[in-house]
Amino acid sequence: EDEEAISFSQYPRPADTPQVNSDLPDLKDIKVMGYSLRSWDYRYTLWLGFNPQTFQVNVSDVHAGELYMLAGDPGQDENIYSEPDHSVMMRKMASLP
Amino acid sequence: RKRNVLFIMADDLRTSLGCYGDPVVKSPNIDQLASKSQVFLDAYAQQAVCAPSRTSMLTSRRPDTTRLYDFNSYWRVHSGNYTTMPQYFKSRGYYTMSVGKVFHPGIASNHTDDYPYSWSIPAYHPASFRFEKEKMCKGEDGKLHANLLCAVNVTEQPGGTLPDMESTDEAVRLLKTRASDDVPFFLAVGFHKPHIPFRIPQEYLSLYPIDQMTLAPDPNVPKLLPPVAYNPWMDVRKRDDVQKLNVSFPYGPIPKDFQLRIRQHYYAAVSYMDAQVGRLLSALDELGLADSTMVVFTSDHGWSLGEHGEWAKYSNFDVTTRVPLIFYVPGVNRFNEWLGEFTFSFVDVLTQSELSFKNAKVGRNVVELVDVFPTVSYMAGLGAPEPCPDVSFQEKLCTEGHNLAYTFQHREQG
């Protein structure tokens, strides 16, 4: 109970750019999985390579990232993923269930 | 004593509810429920699309364990023969019933809504739902179209009804059959709204005059949003009235006047669904079941209403993953109680829109829909399933969520 309360959400994509099946890709077409950590303070998302045959994600294959600090950006409009040192977030992501 | 469960699910309902602080929407019946309940303000779905989210919540396993990310497989043969929440109740002597959209219908629930594993009787689906995918919306040309915006005169609809009205009728009928039975029940009622198309009774539009509608506070696609994070809202684009707008793919935008109308219709759909919840809860009360029935209200995920230049679900933004999560547990968190008064009086939003309710207790801790199964089970007195091991494909009964019951003792004042 001392752990930081976090929710995990995820969404699959067939490609790095929007295409007609981006909303609802069939399993065989999933190439990228976006995993989000949502805490009280932030939402941190990594879009990672995904193999639909093995259901395995490749944590070293980072397609994109998002980081929103919610105190100043509750609408999640200012993606600061490329700005700060977010190695702490990376470690949290590495411990995903 | 026995504790029944009434499990109510909305479809695509974001936290646009009065009890979640939305200043526009009118949802007095859900607000009334919230005023006597534990309200979790920060609850999140595991994937913002129907089948994966519902399967995840009802099995208390994450999508990586159900291995369902689309609509095209049944978890019992695709990933593991996991016990569902209603199945767990059924195995403990409950009479379990499904009305409307609880499991995602079709392949994802074996074309049976997981009957007979999860339910004591076959799931009920409203007959009028088949018209939902047909051309039912009168256009300006006087012809019928498959529109997104589809406010209708219900008396002119086939059978003079709509799917959620039919589901409410059936749920009330089932409640009546169980009211005097000693066997406890688990009744799941899944409403179809505010899912598109916004095929709703036209009178609910009057609650939201178009000249009082506003755009989303951030209607543009953020400059630094990675393209992979963006969902192009294809289901919205495919509707006849949206196609006519000739919106650019993938980023649009939708013309502002049409954005306002989408928002108006979404809110009206919420109020219409709220009225069905009110009818159901007042029936529960009138049948003398409000003191012996736990009520859970939630949704499979949210819906973007123009935020970030997006519509529909299909993303990881809060507007699509955050959901209402409300637990009414008689004897535990029944507040504002006056002897002799009804717990859940029906509030007709069309004539009593000024009526408002205040949350008694809220929980601000971040929680998840995988927490619902262990929490409901525990609060019903059955005990929560054990936590799943790291690899759980062979485990029939376990949870990847947390039992939130302890938070019921750590409430904050609303």
DSSP state of B339: T
What is the tens place of the pLDDT at every residue in A8-63? 999 999 999 999 999 999 999 999 999 999 999 999 999 999 999 999 999 999 99
CA distance linking residue B235 with residue B253, whole number of Å: 15
pLDDT of the residue at B408: 81
Residue B360: both structure tokens together: 């008694």
Site from B67, B79, B218, B317 to mutate, A interface, most A CB atoms within 10 angstroms:
B317
What is the tens place of the pLDDT at every residue in A1-19? 456 789 999 999 999 999 9
Find tokens 């519509």 and name the residue: B311
Interface size A-B, in CB pairs within 8 Å, comes to 141
pLDDT in tens, chain B (414 residues): 579 999 999 999 999 999 999 999 999 999 999 999 999 999 999 999 999 999 999 999 999 999 999 999 999 999 999 999 999 999 999 999 999 999 999 999 999 999 999 999 999 999 999 999 899 999 888 999 999 999 999 999 999 999 999 999 999 999 999 999 999 999 999 999 999 999 999 999 999 999 999 999 999 999 999 999 999 999 999 999 999 999 999 999 999 999 999 999 999 999 999 999 999 999 999 999 999 999 999 999 999 999 999 999 999 999 999 999 999 999 776 544 554 578 999 999 999 988 889 887 888 889 999 999 999 999 999 999 999 999 999 999 999 999 999 888 554 443
pLDDT of the residue at B93: 97
Type and span of the H or E element at B297: strand B293-299
Q: Is the dihedral of CA B375, B333, B357, B185 positive or negative?
A: positive
Is the CB of B226 less than 8 angstroms away from the CB of A64?
yes
Question: For residue B144, with 0-12 CB atoms within 10 Å meaning exposed, 13-18 middle and 19 or more buried, which class applies?
Answer: middle
Task: Sort residue B103 into left (φ over 0), alpha (ψ -120 to 50) or beta.
Answer: beta
Q: Determine the 3-state secondary structure of B247 from DSSP.
A: coil
By CA distance, what is B71's nearest residue in A?
Answer: A26
Under 8 Å between Cβ of B91 and B117: no
Is the CB of B228 less than 8 angstroms away from the CB of A16?
yes
What is the tens place of the pLDDT at every residue in B13-62? 999 999 999 999 999 999 999 999 999 999 999 999 999 999 999 999 99
**Farthest CA pair distance, chain A:** 43
Is the CB of B224 less than 8 angstroms away from the CB of A13?
no
Type and span of the H or E element at B163: helix B163-178
Q: Determine the 3-state secondary structure of B100 from DSSP.
A: strand
Judge if the upstream peptide bond of residue B227 is cis by omega within 30 degrees of 0.
Answer: no
Q: Which of A11, A18, A76 sits opposite B47 (nearest CB)?
A: A11
Sort out which chain B residues have CB atoms less than 8 A from A27's CB and list them.
Answer: 69-70, 72-73
CA distance linking residue A8 with residue B64, whole number of Å: 11
By CA distance, what is B390's nearest residue in A?
Answer: A97
Is the CB of B45 less than 8 angstroms away from the CB of A9?
yes
Which ipTM was obtained for this model? 0.95
Q: Is the pLDDT of residue A97 over 80?
A: no
SS3 for chain A is CCCCCCEEEEEEECCCCCCCCCCCCCHHHCCEEEEEEECCCEEEEEEEEEECCCCEEEEEEEEEEEEEECCCCCCCCCCCCCCCCCHHHHHHHHCCC
What is the tens place of the pLDDT at every residue in B357-390? 988 788 888 999 999 999 999 999 999 999 999 9
